[in-house]
Amino acid sequence: MKERVESALNKIRPSLQADGGDVELVEVTSDGIVKVKLTGACAGCPMAQMTLKMGIEKVIKEEVPEIKEVVAV
């Protein structure tokens, strides 16, 4: 499952990098929670929470339906 999540992150990563940010996969738990770390410009961005839920989480759930939630750590 971790490889599938990483693959989904690779789809959204270019958009984040274009704005000076990035996302790093920290952990995929057995109960379907994905933990990520927003880096670069994303780390201090006021829109980071929206990017996390509407962008990153949406793409991951489309690619890996068994994922329940994506959280920033």
Domain region containing 24? 2-72
The pTM score is 0.91
Q: Are 70 and 63 in contact (CB under 8 A)?
A: no
Q: How confident is the model at residue 40, as a pLDDT? A: 93
Cβ(13)–Cβ(22) below 8 Å:
yes
- Determine the Cα–Cα distance for residues 54 and 58; give it in Å rounded to an integer: 6
Domain count, the chain: 1
Q: CATH code at 32? A: 3.30.300.130
pLDDT average per 10 residues of sequence, the chain (73 residues): 95 94 96 96 89 94 96 94
